[in-house]
Amino acid sequence: MAAMASVVNILGVIFLSHAVYSAYEHSLLPSASIAPTSSAILPRSLDPNINLPIDITLETLFSAFLLCVGVVLSSPGLKPIQWNVWAGGLERSKEAREVKEVGVGGGNPYAGLEERAGFLDIRGKRKEFSDWIKQDAGSEKS
């Protein structure tokens, strides 16, 4: 896949270079210096001074498309979007669990956030509440 992406990128660069050179050569022709009719859509400052032939325009668009495809094909694999999948993968890998520096632990990178002082433990509070409700319901039946 990487070899194919490199070939597509090289072809895109070759086609783009040829299109740029062709556009430059076309701009030097005496017939290209004749100003085209002004467009009613574009303002005068954005109107082009040179009419490029359709083959140069198509070659430029084709080379840009090839380069986009080549970049997409050569990009690395996507990472999982779900944080629990990513953190679980880190916890399971041996490299992530090893301590490489003093004070820098391995495993889940969010474990420090969950164990910090003053952090509200929602699951613990929910369990306390359900125990309190069960205890209160048990005392009313008696």
Residues 39 and 6 both lie in one domain: yes
pLDDT recorded at residue 28: 85
pLDDT recorded at residue 122: 81
Residues 114 and 92 both lie in one domain: yes
Residues 29 and 56 both lie in one domain: yes
The residue with tokens 């303002």 is: 43
> What are the tokens at 96?
């992530």
Residues 114 and 131 both lie in one domain: yes
pLDDT recorded at residue 15: 97
Residues 91 and 63 both lie in one domain: no
Residues 87 and 39 both lie in one domain: no
Residues 65 and 91 both lie in one domain: no
**Whole-model pTM above 0.75?**
no
Residues 61 and 119 both lie in one domain: no
Residues 67 and 94 both lie in one domain: no
pLDDT recorded at residue 123: 83
Q: For the chain (length 142 residues), average pLDDT per consecutive 10? A: 91 97 87 64 67 91 96 84 75 66 58 66 87 83 60
pLDDT recorded at residue 136: 81
Residues 45 and 89 both lie in one domain: no
Domain residues for 112?
Answer: 83-98+106-141
Q: Structural domain tally of the chain?
A: 2
The set of residues, in sequence order, having a beta carbon less than 8 Å from that of 109 and lying 6+ positions away, is 87, 90
pLDDT recorded at residue 96: 65
Buried b (16+ CB within 10 A) or exposed e, 88-110: eebeeeeebeeeeeeeeebbbee
